[in-house]
């Protein structure tokens, strides 16, 4: 079946502009995560959504970052007034659910959006 898709695959933007990154999770997956990965670095958790529950936004680095998930499916990550340090690959992942019995489910990643802020 179809995996996680993300768009655009690449985005070049000027410092100070807003950008929107889109994630389409695997059908039926109720949990959705956003991460970013800077060159040579590990994955940094940003936010997750689980069903209709309030998202866990604890990883968002500043109030310039926000995300929403409409209808429990597609998610959009918005970065306002982009800065050069925002340049990274933004990865989205989905899983069947958040957890069962305290143990989390495996995550499946999309191909990422490579954001370059000039």
Partner 1 sequence: RKEVEQDPGPFNVPEGATVAFNCTYSNSASQSFFWYRQDCRKEPKLLMSVYSSGNEDGRFTAQLNRASQYISLLIRDSKLSDSATYLCVVTLTSGGSYIPTFGRGTSLIVHP
Residues that bind partner 1 (CB under 8 A): 33, 35, 41-43, 45, 48, 56, 58-59, 91, 98-99, 102-104, 106-112
| CB closer to partner 1, 14 vs 99 | 99
**Interatomic CA distance for residues 29 and 21, integer angstroms:** 19
CB of 118 to partner 1, least distance (A): 20
Nearest distance in Å: CB 111, partner 1: 5
Query: 81, 96 in Cβ contact below 8 A?
Result: no
Inter-CA distances, 21 with 61, 66, 69, 78, 102, Å: 16, 11, 12, 6, 30
Select 80 or 98, whichever has its Cβ closest to partner 1.
98
In whole angstroms, what is the distance from residue 95 CA to residue 9 CA? 21
CB of 81 to partner 1, least distance (A): 26
């Amino acid at each position: 079946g179809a995996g996680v898709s993300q768009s655009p695959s690449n985005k070049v933007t000027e410092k100070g502009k807003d950008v929107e990154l889109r994630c389409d999770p695997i059908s039926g997956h109720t949990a959705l995560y956003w991460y970013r990965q800077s060159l040579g670095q590990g994955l940094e958790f940003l936010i997750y959504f689980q069903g209709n529950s309030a998202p866990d936004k604890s990883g968002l680095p500043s109030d310039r970052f926000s995300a929403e998930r409409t209808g429990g499916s597609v998610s959009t990550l918005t970065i306002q007034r982009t800065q050069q340090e925002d340049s990274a690959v933004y990865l989205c992942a989905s899983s069947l659910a958040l957890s069962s019995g305290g143990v989390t489910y495996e995550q499946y990643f999309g191909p990422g959006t490579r954001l370059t802020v000039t």
